[in-house]
């Protein structure tokens, strides 16, 4: 069984922030995809690996891990799938890689766009119009996860990247 983890921060004050995009995506997926185990860690972003390690116990199990998270380098509305890559500077993903001691897992990066003041940008809420874009991205994310589960990551990468 695949484990889908949405990175973000716990708490109401972070619920609709850009840095919580992964967590919002798994909230959507938990109602849509029945053939996966969904996890939204209750740890803060930079400590996500601790929560993931509780359900992913080996490098072999990590091959069936899908981590969904926000990406500053992608425009809002764009998603990319990757496997066995670095963190790209994302602290939550760095935590997962460090604790699991492997990079061999699937990532779904959800674009949030980039601004000069990165910290202010990632902790700002989405606007109403941006939330409409996100709803479409979450539907596409659901399709991506279904293709990964049913046909494999390579097929999903070829179809959606």
Integer Cα distance of 144 and 125 in angstroms: 25
Is position 44 annotated in a ligand binding site? yes
Is position 14 annotated in a ligand binding site? yes
For 58-64, the CB contacts below 8 A with 24+ separation are 59/100, 59/101, 59/102, 59/104, 61/3, 62/100, 62/102, 62/104, 62/105, 63/104, 63/105, 64/1, 64/2, 64/3
The one catalytic residue among 19, 47, 90, 98:
19
90 given a catalytic annotation? no
- Annotation: binding site for tRNA: 14, 44, 46
- Annotation: binding site: 14, 44, 46
Catalytic machinery residues:
19
């Amino acid at each position: 069984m695949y484990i889908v983890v949405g990175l973000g921060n716990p708490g109401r004050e972070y619920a609709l922030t850009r840095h919580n995009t992964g967590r919002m995506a798994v909230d959507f997926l938990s109602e849509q995809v029945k053939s996966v185990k969904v996890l939204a860690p209750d740890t803060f972003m930079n400590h996500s690996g601790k929560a993931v390690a509780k359900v992913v116990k080996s490098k072999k199990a990590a091959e069936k891990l899908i981590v969904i998270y926000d990406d500053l380098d992608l425009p809002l509305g764009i998603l990319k799938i990757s496997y066995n890559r670095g963190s790209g500077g994302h602290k939550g993903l760095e935590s997962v890689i460090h604790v699991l001691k492997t990079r061999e897992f699937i990532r779904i990066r959800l674009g949030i766009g980039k601004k000069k003041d990165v910290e202010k940008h990632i902790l700002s809420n989405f606007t109403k119009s941006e939330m409409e874009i996100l709803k479409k991205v979450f539907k596409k994310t659901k399709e991506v996860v279904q293709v990964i589960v049913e046909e494999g990551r390579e097929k999903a990468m070829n179809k959606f990247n």
